[in-house]
Amino acid sequence: MASESTHAVLQPNVGTAEHGHHPAQMPTGIMRWVLTTNHKEIGSLYLLFSLLMLFVGGSMALVIRAELFQPGLQYVQPEFFNQMTTMHGLIMVFGAIMPAFVGLANWMIPMQIGAPDMALPRLNNFSFWLLPVAFGILLSTLLMEGGGPNFGWTFYAPLSTTYAPPSTSFFIMSIHLAGISSILGAINIIATILNLRTPGMRLMDMSLFVWTWLITAFLLIAVMPVLAGVVTMMLLDINFGTSFFDAAGGGDPVLFQHLFWFFGHPEVYIMILPAFGIVSLIVPTFARKRLFGYASMVYATASIALLSFVVWAHHMFTVGLPLTAELFFMYSTMLIAVPTGVKVFNWIATLFRGSISFEVPMLFALGFIVMFTIGGLSGVMLAIVPADFQYHDTYFVVAHFHYVLVPGALFAILAGAYYWMPKWTGHYADETLGRWHFWLSVIGVNLTFFPMHFSGLAGMPRRIPDYALQFADFNMISSIGGFLFGFSQLIFVWVLVKAIRGGEKAPAKAWEGAEGLEWTVPCPAPIHTFETPPKFVPEVDSPSRH
């Protein structure tokens, strides 16, 4: 296997003729990336795009943290502060976390199920390239007359309708484009998983990452259209005089919240289920044991996904719901702790009496287990209706969802990136730099978000550019931590560039304890893998074997 050509996935302009199905049609230069239908190249595009968005959204977070470093107005006006909180949320959710998981899915799902590519490769190209357009439109609103979205990433009506800036129609268009991208990407992933598995691989033989993505894709197809519907209703209210979210005409602003969170809560699990999948691969690899409770992991994931459709109003406890609804949504929300607890138990049981080593992917995975659990437990606190009346719209909520999204989802993505970097680039990530990245991130993330629990419990409201003096110390710590965390992520860019350019070469099976078909192909993976279906014997290869 000619390794210089196999670099091609991350390096344009490198010939691939000896691997190509159709060398004559392979465009070169930038057009190769524009026209590509290869799952590895599209996966790389998704991952690099999400990395860029991570820094764009992260810069906005640092604007917020700089302003909140001290009480009073320092650097930005409240109007701009509102645009920063809104855009930070939108970009991190739709531009960084979601595309990163789709990128990992593109890269790894075909290789884990023994498929040559995604089921619908051209649709795959279409899904990716919609994203830069969608986020180009979204970011351009910041420069428009009246400014960009300033109503929070949840864009509640009437803030986002009656009182919205004129650019809101652009915001709606960008959400539509990103939504089309997500739905088509999810359809592609489901078709790939259900249809392109190598002969002999049953559903219960699939890796947990494939399983969690199958369920995530179902959630995406079920709820992204609801998001499309609700922004369409907003568009009509703004531009065509309808009354959906206006009580004066018989509508209801609370209806907006119901529709939004019917999308929004499954969306939360869309951003965490694939993370569960990644951690469920990494922990067994570095504990050198098979995953404890494979089947229960699958059922727990499915249970979480199904429950996610009946918990949405826990985001709305203070909006004025009937008591019956408050009780129902409180109990249904608490139920989610059961399958989530099953997962955490299984990860710990996998570690139990394992031969554990602490390479960088494992560090991030263990960090995930500990800190995601902190976020999960504060979620149970928020599920309690009378307590939520106190916590609602305070920094406690901000602390909660940042614990599940940053040391949760983002750490899992980084764990996956370190885990599969040998497969992508052919080289191990620099271990020393990786450790610096991990430890500075852990310190930064906890300095940033742990004090928010306290400022929130003491009553500091979220999305406000100024605050009372008694919150000053907590905010100063948060801001220092935020800058530490933000700049620590530059180490990752350094690690990635180093691994692409060189470093310790990895064998096909880059990690001693790793299992799965992706470790049967060379590192780096050649541009086309599994042109003929690989051999799969469940009794030997299945993660669920006994």
Partner 1 sequence: MSSQYYVPPTSKWPIIAVAVLGLTAVGAGSLMSYGSGLPFLLAGVVGIALVMYGWFRDVVNESMGGLYDAQMDRSFRQGMGWFIFSEVMFFAAFFGALFYIRVFALPWLDGQGAKGITALLWPDFTASWPLMNTPDPSIGGPNAVINPWTLPLINTLLLVSSSVTLTIAHHALKEDNRPKLTRWLIVTLVLGFVFLVIQGIEYVEAWTQLGLTLQAGIYGSTFFLLTGFHGVHVTIGAIVLLVMLLRVRRGHFSANQHFAFEAGAWYWHFVDVVWIGLFLFVYVF
Touching partner 1, residues 31-90 (CB under 8 A): 34-37
Touching partner 1, residues 188-227 (CB under 8 A): 188, 190-192, 194-196, 199, 221-226
Residue 538 near partner 1 by CB under 8 A: no
Where are the alpha helices (H) located in 166-293, listed in sequence order? 168-195, 208-239, 253-270, 273-287
Nearest Cα to 148, choosing from 128, 160, 161, 165?
Answer: 165
Touching partner 1, residues 254-273 (CB under 8 A): 254-255, 258-259, 262
Nearer to partner 1, 329 or 449 (CB): 329
Q: Nearest distance from residue 438's CB to partner 1, in Å?
A: 37
Residue 12 near partner 1 by CB under 8 A: no
Q: Which residues of 501-531 are buried (b: 16+ CB within 10 A; e: fewer)?
A: eebeebeebbbebbbbbbbbbebbbbbebbe
Q: Using CB under 8 A, which of the segments 161-169, 328-336, 363-371, 447-455 binds partner 1?
A: 161-169
Nearer to partner 1, 253 or 461 (CB): 253
Residue 27 near partner 1 by CB under 8 A: yes
Give the 3-state secondary structure of residue 336.
coil
Residue 327 near partner 1 by CB under 8 A: no
What is the rounded CA–CA span in Å between residue 53 and residue 386?
A: 37
Residue 65 phi/psi, 5° resolution?
-70, -35
Nearer to partner 1, 167 or 479 (CB): 167
Residue 242 near partner 1 by CB under 8 A: yes
181 annotated active-site: yes
Catalytic hit among 258, 288, 462, 505? 462
Greatest distance between any 2 Cα atoms in the chain: 70
Residue 440 near partner 1 by CB under 8 A: no
Q: Which of 126, 153, 328, 345 binds partner 1 (CB under 8 A)?
A: 126
> What's the per-residue H, E or C state across 444-455?
HHHHHHHHHHHH
Residue 229 near partner 1 by CB under 8 A: yes
| Phi and psi based region of residue 154 (left: phi greater than 0; alpha: psi -120 to 50; beta: remaining) | alpha
Touching partner 1, residues 473-532 (CB under 8 A): 528, 530-532
- Identify whether the C-beta of residue 109 lies closer than 8 Å to the C-beta of residue 213: yes
Catalytic hit among 174, 340, 350, 441? 340
Residue 122 near partner 1 by CB under 8 A: yes
Cross-strand partners of 505: 427
Residue 252 near partner 1 by CB under 8 A: yes
Catalytic hit among 19, 265, 400, 402? 265
205 annotated active-site: no
Q: How far is CA 151 from CA 82, 85, 87, in A?
A: 7, 9, 9
Q: Nearest distance from residue 32's CB to partner 1, in Å?
A: 9
Catalytic hit among 7, 343, 402, 423? 343
Q: How far is CA 6 from CA 60, 112, 420, 500, 523, in A?
A: 37, 18, 15, 12, 9
Type of residue numbered 451: P
269 annotated active-site: yes
267 annotated active-site: yes
Catalytic hit among 44, 182, 378, 479? 182
Residue 23 near partner 1 by CB under 8 A: no
Q: Which of 13, 29, 240, 540 binds partner 1 (CB under 8 A)?
A: 240
Close Cβ partners of 543 (under 8 Å, ≥ 6 residues apart): 205, 206, 207, 208, 284, 290, 291, 294, 515, 516
Nearer to partner 1, 237 or 430 (CB): 237
Element (H, E) at 479: helix 472-501
Nearer to partner 1, 224 or 429 (CB): 224
Residue 170 near partner 1 by CB under 8 A: yes
Residue carrying structure tokens 């310790």:
504
| Tokens of residue 450, six digits | 């742990």
Residue carrying structure tokens 């268009």:
173
Give the 3-state secondary structure of residue 515.
coil
The distance from CA 268 to its chain's CA centroid, rounded to whole angstroms, is 9
Q: Using CB under 8 A, which of the segments 47-55, 90-98, 182-190, 270-278 binds partner 1?
A: 182-190
Nearer to partner 1, 268 or 291 (CB): 268
Residue 173 near partner 1 by CB under 8 A: yes
Q: Using CB under 8 A, which of the segments 72-80, 230-238, 277-285, 383-391 binds partner 1?
A: 230-238
Q: Nearest distance from residue 537's CB to partner 1, in Å?
A: 16
Q: Nearest distance from residue 168's CB to partner 1, in Å?
A: 7
Residue 320 near partner 1 by CB under 8 A: yes
Query: Please, is 182 exposed, middle or buried when counting C-beta atoms within 10 Å of its C-beta (0-12, 13-18, 19+)?
Result: buried
Touching partner 1, residues 130-159 (CB under 8 A): 130, 133-134, 136-137, 144-145
Nearer to partner 1, 312 or 474 (CB): 312
Q: Nearest distance from residue 211's CB to partner 1, in Å?
A: 17
Q: Nearest distance from residue 139's CB to partner 1, in Å?
A: 13
Nearest Cα to 132, choosing from 156, 99, 93?
Answer: 99
Residue 328 near partner 1 by CB under 8 A: no
Q: Which of 251, 354, 459, 538 binds partner 1 (CB under 8 A)?
A: 251
Supply angle C-alpha 521, 534, 113, rounded to 5: 80
Binding residue count for partner 1, defined by CB under 8 A: 91
Catalytic hit among 176, 197, 314, 427? 314
CB neighbours of residue 202 within 10 Å: 11
| Tokens of residue 206, six digits | 């699939």
Q: Which of 81, 101, 135, 244 binds partner 1 (CB under 8 A)?
A: 244
> By 3-state DSSP, what share of the chain in percent is helix, strand and coil, each rounded to 5?
70, 0, 30
Q: Per this entry, what is the length of the chain?
A: 546
Q: Nearest distance from residue 160's CB to partner 1, in Å?
A: 13
Active site positions, annotated? 88, 117, 153, 181-182, 265, 267, 269, 280, 314-315, 340, 343, 462
